[in-house]
Amino acid sequence: MDAADLVTLIVPKFTGKLGKSFCKVLRRGNTFEAHLDKLGSAIWNSCDGTRIVKDILTELTKQFPEEKNLDQRLFLFLQQLKALNYLTY
C-alpha cells in the first residue's frame, strides 16, 4: 500500500449551531483531517455496509500477514470509530 491508498477523513469539529457560529466568528474552519495509517485505511475501505466483521478480519489477515493481534486491533478500531461517530453499526 502506498501513500495514495491512505484514507483521510474530513471530520466536523462541531455539529451544533453554537459551535458552527463560534468557528465563523473566529474565521476558522469547522473541520479537521484525520489521517489513517495502512491498517486503518484498509479497515475503513472494507466498511462498505455489506461485509461483516469476520469478513473484514479475513481480508485483513490476507493483506497484513505479519501483523499481530489483528482481531483485537480491528475490534478496538471499530469501537473507536463508533465512539467518535465516524461509523455506525
- Give, for all 89 residues of the chain, the pLDDT tens digit: 445 689 998 887 777 788 778 777 888 777 878 899 999 999 999 998 899 999 999 999 999 999 999 999 999 999 998 988 888 87
Q: Within 13 A of 9's CA, how many CA atoms are on the CB side?
A: 16
Give the per-residue pLDDT at 61: 95
The pTM (predicted TM-score) of the whole model is: 0.75
What's the pLDDT at 6? 92
The cell for 2 is 502506498
